[in-house]
Structure 1
Amino acid sequence: MQHILHIDASYSGERSVSRVLSRDFITAWKKFHPEAAVLYRDLGRFPVPYINEAWIAATHSSSEIRTPEMIAALEVSNPLLEEFLLVDGYVFGVPMYGFTIPATLKAYFEHLIRLGRTYEVTKAGVKGLVHGKKALFITSCAGDYSPGSTFGEDHQEPYLRTLFESFGIKDVQFVNAGKLMFKDREQSISSAQASLQSLATQW
């Protein structure tokens, strides 16, 4: 049985394009994988806490010397990490805020950056420890961030690719609905929906 982790990060509720698209993809994908289990997290409505000094100390200390504050920090964080490592793939609904990802999604990812669990440092540099998994990022943005555009820099997709490669996850795909504040908004959404419907048959 396949296990998929589906995460939405938008703060916009049902008005969110990335939420609608990620939900539509999961619905279509489940038709081809009815036996699959889908875990869901809504970080927009139920954000995880930011990591703090106690978390940093806990992840760099042995269990014998951890303080109650360190233990409490890991009691929140460890289930997020174990869940991430358990599943076979990930589907993220990610709007662009301020040229990059929402703060709540960044906070979630910081819980996963664990030396000895998701990555290690070798003489050759950072080496990912999470293998055999795949990720789909369904992104949305108000402007035009396609190559050659003059609207601004996209710090969303490059960051996500770099992060997941550092984990060892190289099977990473993106489907974007852009130009959402322009007249071709509906065309962009329809194009993304078509891409996701096609991807659902093979992902």
Structure 2
Amino acid sequence: MSRILVIESSARQQGSVSRQLTQDFIARWQTAHPADDIQVRDLAIDQVPHLDADLLGGWMKPADQQSESEKAALALSNLLTEELLAADVLVMAAPMYNFAIPSTLKSWLDHVLRAGVTFKYTETGPQGLLTGKRAYILTARGGIYAGSPVDHQEPYLRQAMSFIGIHDVTFIHAEGLNMGAEFQEKGLAAAKSQLAKVA
């Protein structure tokens, strides 16, 4: 049995293409792997605070020197990190907001990219500690950006995953969603065709 961690980050609960892709992925995965455990964390409902002084204090101070707010920030970071550590497969839904990822997803990453836990520094540079995991990243984009200089999603997320040791990363882009019915239909069809192959 494998554990699947799904991260939702769309601000919309209704009419969200990234959520539609996630539900499609989950349905296909459950059909192919009925014994697997799937956990969904919705960052729009349970928002993760931005990295702040409390979180830094929780990471860096000895337990007996932490304030209550620092302890609470550390506890949340520990919970999010433990979920990621326990997962065999990570699925991230990442709609494109202003050429990048939602701030909620960035906050989640800030909580789980942790020195000594998900990566470590060595004499030859940082080394990821989450080897053997796979990641699927489902994006929804109003325009067509894949491979272009203004695609700041895929390069950033590939780097973030590589940094913690996840090198098996598959991107599934639904593009052209705001460019008219024809482009929207093609973009969704292309994404769902990819989903059918990987899930």
TM-score (ref. length: structure 2): 0.94
Task: Name the residue aligned to 1:63.
Answer: 63
Residues in 2 aligned to 1:180 and 1:111: alpha-carbon distance in whole angstroms: 31
Report the equivalent of 2:175. Answer: 178
Query: Is the counterpart of residue 155 in structure 1 residue 152 in structure 2?
Result: yes
- Post-superposition offset of 1:70: 1.6
User: What TM-score results when the alignment is normalised by the length of structure 1?
Assistant: 0.93
Task: Report SS of the residue matched to 2:14.
Answer: helix
Distance 2:146 2:154 in 1: 11
Secondary structure of residue in 1 paired with 2:171: strand
Structure 1 position 187 matched with structure 2 position 189: no
Q: Residue 35 of structure 2 aligns to which amino acid in structure 1?
A: E
Aligned partners of 2:77, 2:111: CA distance in 1, in Å?
6
CA distance in 2, matches of 1:119, 1:75: 19
Whole-angstrom distance in 1 between the partners of 2:29 and 2:98: 31
Distance 1:35 1:188 in 2: 31
Corresponding residue to 2:161 among 159, 164, 171: 164
Q: CA deviation at 1:64?
A: 3.1
**1:51: how far off?**
2.3
Aligned identity (percent) is 38
Is residue 14–residue 20 contact of structure 1 (8 Å, CA) maintained in 2?
no
Q: Structure 2: how far apart are the matches of 1:71 and 1:63?
A: 8
For the aligned residues, what is the CA RMSD? 1.3
Are positions 1:48 and 2:48 aligned together?
yes
Kindly provide the amino acid, as one letter, of the partner of residue 29 in structure 1.
W
In the alignment, structure 1 residue 89 sits paired with structure 2 residue 85? no
The structure 1 segments of at least 4 consecutive aligned residues displaced by more than 4 Å after TM superposition are none
Number of residue pairs matched by the alignment: 197
CA distance in 2, matches of 1:79, 1:173: 25
CA distance in 2, matches of 1:74, 1:26: 30
What is aligned with 2:196? 197
Per-residue CA deviation, residues 155-189 of structure 1 (Å, 9 max, x unaligned), is 00000000010001101110000011113111110
Alpha carbons of structure 1 residues 147 and 84: separation in structure 2 relative to 1, 3 Å: closer
Any residues of structure 2 matched to 1:91-170 within 5 Å, and which? 91-147=91-147, 153-170=150-167
Q: 1:35 to 1:99 in 2, by over 3 A?
A: same
Separation of aligned partners in 2, 1:147 and 1:79 = 35
- Are the counterparts in 2 of residues 140 and 177 from structure 1 also a CA contact under 8 Å? yes
Gap runs ≥5 in structure 2: none
**Partner Cα separation in structure 2 for residue 114 and residue 55 of structure 1:** 11
Where does structure 1 lack aligned partners over 5 or more consecutive residues?
none
